[in-house]
């Protein structure tokens, strides 16, 4: 097998992810503004917002494996997209994700509440993810001054957007939240729980679905989902190269 470091994410990739997060954040808010201004219909707003949130989520995930909170700008650390009135930020998500990789799909996994216990329990965990994560994080780590300030800023943003136009905000917010729920259910439960067993599993999409999905959501989303087992085995491999490493495994007769 070739030198695996050729597939590792680089600091250039980290910069790319950070730029993408900023761009997608601005576009997500742009969808809301366009909907408020009558430029976008509700269906265009929902569709575009859903795609952008999905792309934002994978860029956020990839960046967490490369940079700590202190290496990022305030906007990225703040995590300004209002998935909930009270929502943790980059530093807390990265801390949780490190725990997820250290204790994947077992009772010590901080993400166990939306992975284990069958589809219905995991779905409830995905639906209540943001609220549960906040409570669980504070119980485990306490409420730091930084987290308190960030929570206040995010709450102020949430309320400000809500006051502008409550019904428009509700439609936009539901698009944000439902997209996150679906993506979380797939990216945590379906890739870590199969047939009553816990672990890390691939989701090998058929070609007819794979390429339209890549066109809409991008290669990072599709390959990180399809080859999530490899991601847990080799965390440093960039999502965009997971399919190449998977192909090498097949060539070299390695089973997954």
pTM for the full predicted model: 0.95
Question: What DSSP string runs through 59-104?
Answer: HHHHHHTT--GGGS-HHHHH--S-SSSS---HHHHHHHHHHHHHTT
**Cβ atoms within 10 Å of 28's Cβ, excluding its own:** 23
Report the run of H or E that residue 226 belongs to, with start and end: helix 219-226
- Residue of 54, 11, 49, 4 whose CA lies nearest to 27: 49
Classify 115 as helix, strand or coil: coil
Taking the C-alpha atoms of residue 113 and residue 49, their distance in angstroms, rounded to an integer, is 27
**Digitized pLDDT (tens) for each residue of the chain, 256 residues in all:** 568 999 999 999 999 999 999 999 999 999 999 999 999 999 999 999 999 999 999 999 999 999 999 999 999 999 999 999 999 999 999 999 999 999 999 999 999 999 999 999 999 999 999 999 999 999 999 999 999 999 999 999 999 999 999 999 999 999 999 999 999 999 999 999 998 899 999 999 999 999 999 999 999 999 999 999 999 999 999 999 999 999 998 887 777 6
């Amino acid at each position: 097998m070739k030198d695996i470091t050729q597939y590792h994410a680089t600091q250039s990739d980290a910069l790319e992810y950070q730029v993408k997060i900023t761009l997608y954040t601005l576009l997500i808010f742009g969808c809301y503004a366009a909907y408020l201004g009558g430029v976008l219909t509700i269906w265009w707003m929902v569709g575009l917002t859903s795609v952008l949130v999905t792309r934002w989520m994978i860029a956020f995930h990839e960046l967490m494996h490369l940079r700590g909170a202190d290496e990022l700008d305030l906007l990225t650390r703040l995590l300004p997209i209002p998935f909930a009135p009270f929502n943790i930020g980059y530093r807390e998500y990265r801390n949780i994700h490190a725990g997820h990789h250290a204790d994947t799909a077992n009772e010590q996994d901080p993400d166990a509440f939306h992975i284990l216990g069958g589809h219905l329990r995991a779905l409830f965990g995905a639906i209540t993810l943001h609220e549960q994560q906040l409570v669980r994080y504070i119980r485990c780590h306490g409420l730091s001054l930084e987290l308190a300030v960030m929570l206040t800023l995010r709450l102020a943003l949430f309320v400000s957007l809500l006051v502008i136009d409550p019904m428009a905000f509700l439609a936009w917010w539901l698009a944000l939240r439902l997209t996150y729920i679906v993506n979380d259910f797939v990216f945590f439960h379906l890739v870590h729980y199969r047939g009553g067993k816990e672990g890390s599993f691939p989701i090998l999409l058929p070609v007819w679905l794979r390429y339209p999905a890549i066109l809409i959501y991008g290669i990072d989303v599709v390959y990180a989902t399809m080859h999530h087992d490899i991601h847990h085995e080799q965390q440093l491999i960039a999502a965009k190269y997971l399919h190449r490493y998977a192909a090498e495994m097949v060539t070299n007769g390695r089973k997954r």
